[in-house]
Amino acid sequence: MKNGILFQAFEWYLPDDGGYYDDLCLKLDELKEMGVTALWLPPVYKATGVNDVGYGSYDLYDLGEFDQKGSVRTKYGTKEQLKHLISEIHKREMSVYADVVLNHKAGADRAEKFQAVMVDENDRNREVGDVHEIAGWTGFDFPGRGDTYSKFKWHHEHFSGVDFDNLTGTKAIFRIIGDNKGWNLGVSTEKGNFDYLMFADLDLAHPDVKEELKIWALWFIDELGLDGFRMDALKHMDQAFLEEFFNFIRQEKGEDFYVLGEYWIKSEEENSDFLDKINYRSQLFDVGLHFNLFEASKNSAGFDLRQVFDGSLLKSHPALSVTFVDNHDSQTGQALESWVEPWFKESAYALILLRQEGYPCIFYGDYYGTNGEPAPDFIREKITCLSKLRKNFAFGAQDDYFQSPTCIGWLRQGDDEHPNKMAAVISTGDADTIGMSVGQGEAGKVYADYTGNSENKITIDEEGWGAFEVGPGSISVWMEDGLEL
């Protein structure tokens, strides 16, 4: 959708009271009004317990329907509540993307004995000791669900590694030994081979595993009426499997079925290499841009704003870049914490919402708050304003005016259906001004700052130039005065 906005509809510390789906229903109208076109839901299947955000996935077929892991509901609610939420999202003509965790399984029903070898945590290609028998948590029988929806049961041959030997109580990374078994090769080379991330690691080269995941994916899509997948932990997953899986989904559900992946690494080169190996079948979160925004917020004096897009997917693969400021992994208290400072949030969101390139994603935590604390009113108000500006006015060609290390701006020219010009200016230093040409057709018009950060007015000169101001460490977005957001 043109000028679409994705909303990550959860944060890490939501209460585990089962009321999430009903609460999100109450937020849909305001999200629609501000310009959100798609919602990314958290993992909706049964995890290790109701206090699990969902990434410790246990049973992909239990969407809050069976009494397993201590409850019928998931952290977020029941299957009935989930289906009602999705129906309400679709009524508002917004899309639904489900979080898909296929790298590992957690909370096994029983331990199994098998042959394995311990590996070096920092170099998973280096074996530590000899092959020996261990007992790992790899037996998934799903006693609460039985054979409903699927008769497939998971055993040690379906996994490549575990992190605990139940025989000796040893916590370490063990590679499972077996015919045609080893670490998947099409993964990140970090730590030698980064196939293993956590829990019981799926062997994505195993033919039965591949077939079962395809069968499940079609069931999952049809059961909930999904419009797309957000794929977790792609840098730990076999690239050959991913290309096969994405091709299968598109073949069965059409090319419009949306796929977005998380490949958490700063390197644009590695991201580009991954995209090439999966034949560009998925968009990716722009992790490089996120870290540039994080660095700019932490080091305003030393960061050159003119380089804010360097090393980003937005620059190298703009059609495949999903831009974001923060998410559940980067938020405060998480292992990948890299929280953009509040003073820079508005500018950071302007850089993803008002640009021509990229598919921007707004984080629940920035808009509604985290860990029971509401988001600051000023940040929420600014995100709302910028989203409406994107929805109604951020159209047409883009002219960059990257003036200095602490002050940049750009102009959106508008198009036939949206003829208004938009000039955005960001400063991380002192108050500044950037001259931009909006065209002689704008001569004599008075422009105002729609962020409300400046009360001044600017008159376009007879040549079509405007001297667009910005306050210290701030942002202004200038358009003809009197327009309705």
Query: Which of 136, 294, 262, 279 minimizes the C-alpha distance to 188?
Result: 262
pLDDT at 134: 98
Query: Which of 414, 384, 396, 409 minimizes the C-alpha distance to 475?
Result: 409
* pLDDT surpassing 80 at residue 24: yes
pLDDT at 1: 61
pLDDT at 123: 98
What's the mean pLDDT in 411-417? 96
Is 469 an annotated catalytic residue?
no
Please, are residues 13 and 365 in contact by the beta-carbon 8 Å criterion? no
* pLDDT surpassing 90 at residue 436: yes
Helix (H, G, I), strand (E, B) or coil at 227: coil
Q: How far apart are CA 242 and CA 426, in angstroms?
A: 39
pLDDT at 140: 98
Domains annotated on the chain, with CATH: 6-103+207-393 (3.20.20.80), 105-202 (2.40.30.140), 398-480 (2.60.40.1180)
> How crowded is residue 446: how many other Cβ atoms within 10 Å of its Cβ?
12
Amino acid at 246: F
Q: What is the pLDDT of residues 125-142, one digit of tens each?
A: 999 999 999 999 999 999
The pair phi, psi for residue 151, each rounded to 5°, is -95, 0
* pLDDT surpassing 90 at residue 232: yes
Is 462 an annotated catalytic residue?
no
Please, are residues 418 and 439 in contact by the beta-carbon 8 Å criterion? no
pLDDT at 275: 94
User: 65, 163, 195, 232: which is the annotated catalytic residue?
Assistant: 232
- Residues with Cβ < 8 Å from 202, sequence gap 6 or more? 102, 103, 104, 105, 158, 159, 160, 209
pLDDT at 301: 87
> How crowded is residue 390: how many other Cβ atoms within 10 Å of its Cβ?
24
Q: What is the pLDDT of residues 294-334, one digit of tens each?
A: 999 999 989 999 999 999 999 999 999 999 999 999 999 99
Give percent above pLDDT 90 in the chain: 97
Q: What is the pLDDT of residues 146-205, one digit of tens each?
A: 999 999 999 999 999 999 999 999 999 999 999 989 999 899 999 999 999 999 999 999
What's the mean pLDDT in 375-395? 96
Q: How far apart are CA 225 and CA 119, in angstroms?
A: 42
* pLDDT surpassing 80 at residue 28: yes
pLDDT at 270: 92
User: 11, 262, 268, 366: which is the annotated catalytic residue?
Assistant: 262
Torsion of CA 373, 375, 378, 380, to 10 degrees: -150
Query: Which of 418, 412, 461 minimizes the C-alpha distance to 441?
Result: 461
- Residues with Cβ < 8 Å from 5, sequence gap 6 or more? 34, 35, 36, 37, 38, 353, 360, 361, 362, 387, 390, 391
